[in-house]
Structure 1
């Protein structure tokens, strides 16, 4: 972690123009890190870079389509030339389609896969290419509860997240086999209030929404920075809903299938019609030259929580275990004294 006694960290964040990536970049700026912001949307990138600088960090915005490895590799080369050796690479960028599987065109499915899965592969390749000679560095693959549990209307996104999970596990095994000093870790996020519900291509009749409970992007950002600082853990579960979903899926996946079949269509849509002319960032960024800056937050601020006790407990599980042990011991002592 960069502090007053150390040189600033060099951090790359993909998908940094909005949502969780924007919140992560801003948080690193507040640490006075050197932050390279990679995304397609130039207006969003410029605004995000301004927030990084306002927090005291150094910002380098680079327009990049992560589906193109040549662009990602060139961006990594530029980062090291202008900011220095990369310490942390955070893969966040994604796109998706809200629709039934049968309503998604083959070229749209391919595009989601290229951005949301291969974008992570490309970022990891570019990072490892530069980290391996130094034998140090951290790569954070920002995941989701949907990396384990698919839900209706998001088959393309769920497929990409499942793919990232398997890819990351395989890579982690290879790094462990090589006794590498490079670490990879994967925070699994809950539903987050990001602009994706206003800019992802949707064929739903009503406005798309996150599955409650909804968390603010800053909750995710805090967990991601903690994971980057403590990459020895293979993954972090962020939010009580993530924990509940993954546990339920491990114990009774068939029952969860039926539950989501009954509730998954309704709970992912508000009671309002989809706005006419809603942006769709599948092929072109919604925050590009003809668009506007969407920021980190989506349209659900009033329904979103800025805190997650479960996330805190996950990040401090050793302390929680010690406190739990102390409470058990105290209970045993009190019980003996009461006899």
Structure 2
């Protein structure tokens, strides 16, 4: 049986194949013909068409804020991804990485989508456990850890040990919120209309929480007044507000989780520090900023976007560990 760990994310789907490592990282995206409902493109190919399609074609994201919003599109997309990494007809067991506190109804949707895509056995594990496993942090019953995973659509925050989650939550805040806010901010500041792909690229290239960071880049868009194409230079300082407002909200909720902890657990948190993961954590200075906000050392994964699926890979390769952390 082929064993996979699947992070079916709002923005990007990652798949880890036991014995091979990470075998896929593609946009969770499809294009659909409006009149027939036919799916025309999948994954990265579909995302490249964002903002460039004709009237009769929609670019759709079947996962929104961690929830499957179209089982038909999600099933077709997952099946497409599986064909790229597994031979047709192979027996597959998959561990799905899901947000902290993921509801039973939400898991049932994922289960139906997985079955429709041809997966034989389905397990679930929450993101906080997997994110620290992906950073090679040892888990035990007596040594609790604190983790924050900031994805595109969902942020998971939890204090936990191998015995389970002590306190935690998930919130619908992430990189996608920042992208939308950056679009509005650029329109207000520069009178320039930009698209989602440009906004995401801007966040990823010059987005920074380092004070006085002077990185800059040239972006192209449409002048709001004249309607003509125009270019402007945008610096880190120009987009710090639409990034910081969401990071501050995440820090606020992380502080609430910390305040719920028993005294001994709090002492362990202070000693062990905070473990950060998720694609948003690639923003320059984010780890140091969160460290200052929460007054504790912050550890950043070497590859934040892949930490969760790497942890899923460790879990599918260790039956005893998987039994401890999987959701029943």
Normalising by structure 1, report the TM-score: 0.30
Specify which structure has the higher proportion of strand. 2
Specify which structure has the higher proportion of helix. 1
